[in-house]
Amino acid sequence: MTDLSAALSTAHAFASQTDVRDWVLVLLTPVFFVTVVMEWWRMRRANGPDGRPVYALRDSLDSMTLGGIYTLLDVMLVVAFVLPAMNWAYAHRLATIEVTVWSFAALYLGVEFCYYWFHRASHRIRWFWCAHVVHHGSEHMNFTTAMRQSWLYSFAGNWLFYTPMVFIGFEPRWVLFALSVNLAYQFFIHTQWVGKLPAPIELIFNTPSHHRAHHGRNPAYIDRNYGGTLIVFDRLFGTFVEEREAVDYGLVRQVRSHNPLWLTLHEWVHMLQDMARPGPLGQRLKHLWAPPEWERARDNPAHASQSPPRPHDAARP
């Protein structure tokens, strides 16, 4: 009983440090699972335009396992490390902005802008790619793919991209809440169930079509469509691509494993191995900030698909 009492006391102490805004993604988990079941029932015998089944049981279990670990550990890491750091930034803020309907709309747009640059950096800077690569590890596209996340995002420093909103004057928990709402939206664009939407929506918002292209390892799709809720910053900064050819999902150098630890750590290990190879210190350290495909004085494989393009289905771009 003593051990149980201690555990309950610890859990209560942790819960007392949290806010309902910290638990948005956890609270939405039942909605996510109902959506997965509905999509699976509709697509259970379907193949995508890439020729692969939309659902593969082992792949979906991998994604949901990684998502469960991420959802629970991320809350703890945010409360223990991220919020204290953001609170320090808030103590040095330029102003104090009270949250109203209009100021939250401005906050959400600001977080979207920050997310664009976080996401772009996560593809073009290897340190951040080490965490983000987990999300791109599936060769299938369905709602479970959205759950495939790394609990090492906080360690990698993704929260640094959102601290400008704190310095401006938004309270940290509101910034992280806006980010959680943004991520919740993104769950629903990981699907092949929905085709292209009306042109005005496709023009402004990140849609399933735009995000399918983002997950492609086709040369035309790599490092494109970084937006979260919106696609306008991709259009402004030249990173937008329209979904045209059939999407070949997955990584250029695909990881063949179902071990959640290896799926989380493989790119960190490979980066450290690259840094450990003999050579000038500057070149070795460059693996931290160079693009993921960068190599030192040996093979320099293009950051493009090593798989042959899949046939295009004219009936469904």
CA distance 156 to 150: 10
Indicate whether 197 belongs to any domain: yes
Question: pLDDT tens digit string along 74-84?
Answer: 889 999 999 99
Contact 192, 44 (CB under 8 A): no
Total number of domains constituting the chain? 1
Radius of gyration of the chain (CA): 20
Question: pLDDT tens digit string along 167-211?
Answer: 999 999 999 999 999 999 999 999 999 999 999 999 999 999 999
Indicate whether 310 belongs to any domain: no
Indicate whether 178 belongs to any domain: yes
Indicate whether 7 belongs to any domain: no
Indicate whether 257 belongs to any domain: yes
Indicate whether 300 belongs to any domain: no
User: The pTM is what?
Assistant: 0.89
Instruction: Give the C-alpha distances (Å, rounded to integers) separating 243 from 64, 207, 225, 247.
Output: 26, 11, 10, 8
Residue with tokens 């959680």: 180
Indicate whether 317 belongs to any domain: no
Q: Which domain holds residue 190?
A: 18-288
Question: pLDDT tens digit string along 248-301?
Answer: 999 999 999 999 999 999 999 999 999 999 999 999 999 999 999 999 876 444
Indicate whether 252 belongs to any domain: yes
Nearest of 156, 179, 164 to residue 264 by alpha carbon? 156
